[in-house]
């Protein structure tokens, strides 16, 4: 299926105002997503928040099958969560770690996740093991397999790191985890909406995702996938009277599906906005989206190679829509500011986001230009020319 670029741009109000190369931060939403979100806020103002939720109950409940269709799950395996970090936290902190339990992760892991590993290791006596990279700069799956022993409690990696175009071999990791009978938590906040993600082929037990990045949904939205077959016995670290029912003076029961990871209060307008965004991805086809993003990003890398002083910093056998680079002897934050003054949006990833990876490569920070389906070849030319002038 080919994508109608002119129509996609006309349906994205932001395209008329900025050259947006920050999808890895927060994408430009479509008019459809914007309308779904704003219309519900208006309805709440007109008839009341509880009443608006009741009026839109069927549409709100429609989020679950929409997400399930996108990632190959069952609707009962999906929980709405306010962001990817909280979704990830709900999975990770609900596991009972004991002294000697081992957590296996990767070099490119995201700081929020890594801080959580360190905290749990400090509190429980669990051991954190960083699996080395292979020659491509991605997790060495052979080393991962060798690192697994009877003490291994969890394998947890980010599918695509925040600081580069690397696409980790997540399916290979899943096969190893499943063979060993080890729980597998996948941070997919940068991959869902960018490329095909199917939980059955990935083999993950938990998957966390956000709405604001490649799904083009509202900020303050995300979801958690919890595989029913392997996670049904895991009780969430947090419970309220939505996730559980007070069934006796000293008794409670939890939902037997992923709804037990939710809480009662939520951003209802955001739920509807997220559903609209995901429905649009499903209609366009994630394969078609990936087929556009991959060559667009590769074309940007080719352009950047022609700029004096610029070095590409993306790793991996497969590289996605996040393009990162360093400019010799220049202040990346100053370049970012100079570009923003021209209504060109990029980002800078620092060691604060991924200390082991960037520090290990001698990089203080990298510039990040992340494309989405609404970007054009002409915009990439304009960006690279502006970059030349800025440096």
What percentage of the chain reaches a pLDDT higher than 70? 100
- Which of 328, 320, 300 shows the shortest CA–CA distance to 385? 300
What local confidence, expressed as pLDDT, does residue 2 receive? 76
What local confidence, expressed as pLDDT, does residue 1 receive? 56
Q: Are residues 180 and 194 in the same domain?
A: yes
Number of domains in the chain: 2
The dihedral over CA atoms of 235, 67, 266, 61, expressed in degrees to the nearest 10, equals -100
What local confidence, expressed as pLDDT, does residue 183 receive? 98
Q: Are residues 130 and 148 in the same domain?
A: yes
| CATH number, position 154 | 3.40.640.10
What DSSP line would sit under 305-324, residue for residue?
A: TTSTTEEE---SSSB-SEEE
| CATH number, position 366 | 3.90.1150.10
What local confidence, expressed as pLDDT, does residue 344 receive? 98
Find the domain containing 303 and state its range: 5-30+285-390
Neighbours of 26 (CB within 10 A): 18
Can you tell me the distance from the alpha carbon of 47 to that of 158, in angstroms, rounded to the nearest whole number? 42
Q: What is the mean pLDDT of each run of 10 residues along the chain (391 residues)?
A: 90 98 98 98 98 98 98 98 97 98 98 98 98 98 98 98 97 98 98 98 98 98 98 96 95 96 96 98 98 98 98 98 98 98 98 95 97 98 97 94
Residue pLDDT, tens place only, 191-211: 999 999 999 999 999 999 999
Which of 251, 283, 315 delimits the end of a domain? 283
Report the DSSP pairing between strands 127-131 and 102-106: parallel
pTM of this structure: 0.97
């Amino acid at each position: 299926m080919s994508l109608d670029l002119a129509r996609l741009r006309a349906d994205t109000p932001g395209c008329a105002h900025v050259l947006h190369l920050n999808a890895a931060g927060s994408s430009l939403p479509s008019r459809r997503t914007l309308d779904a979100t704003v219309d519900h806020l208006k309805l709440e103002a007109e008839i009341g928040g509880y009443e608006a939720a009741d009026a839109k109950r069927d549409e709100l409940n429609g989020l679950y099958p929409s997400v399930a269709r996108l990632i190959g799950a069952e609707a009962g395996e999906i929980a709405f969560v306010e962001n990817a970090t909280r979704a990830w936290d709900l999975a990770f902190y609900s596991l009972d770690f004991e002294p000697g339990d081992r957590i296996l992760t990767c070099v490119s892991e995201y700081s929020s996740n890594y801080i959580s590993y360190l905290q749990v290791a400090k509190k429980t006596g669990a051991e954190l093991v960083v699996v080395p990279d292979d020659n491509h700069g991605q997790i060495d799956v052979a080393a991962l397999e060798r690192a697994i022993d009877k003490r291994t409690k969890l394998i947890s990696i980010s599918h695509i790191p925040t600081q580069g175009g690397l696409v980790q071999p997540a399916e290979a990791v899943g096969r190893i985890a499943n063979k060993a009978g080890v729980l597998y938590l996948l941070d997919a906040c940068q991959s869902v909406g960018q490329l095909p993600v199917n939980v059955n082929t990935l083999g993950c037990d938990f998957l966390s995702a956000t709405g604001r990045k490649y799904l083009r949904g509202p900020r303050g939205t995300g979801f958690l996938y919890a595989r029913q077959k392997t996670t049904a016995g895991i009780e969430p670290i947090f419970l309220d009277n939505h996730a559980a029912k007070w069934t006796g003076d000293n008794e409670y029961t939890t939902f037997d599906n992923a709804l037990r990871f939710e809480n009662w209060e939520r951003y209802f307008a955001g739920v509807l906005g997220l559903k609209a965004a995901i429905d649009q991805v499903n209609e366009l086809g994630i394969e078609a989206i990936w087929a556009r993003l991959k060559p667009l990003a590769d074309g940007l890398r080719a352009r950047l190679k022609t700029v004096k002083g610029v070095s590409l910093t993306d790793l991996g056998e497969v590289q996605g829509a996040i393009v990162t680079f360093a400019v010799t002897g220049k202040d990346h934050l100053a370049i970012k500011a100079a570009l923003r003054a021209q209504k060109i949006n990029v980002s800078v990833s620092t060691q604060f986001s991924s200390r082991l990876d960037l520090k290990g490569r001698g990089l203080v920070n990298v510039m990040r230009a992340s494309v989405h389906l609404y970007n054009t070849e002409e915009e990439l030319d304009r960006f690279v020319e502006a970059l030349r002038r800025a440096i």
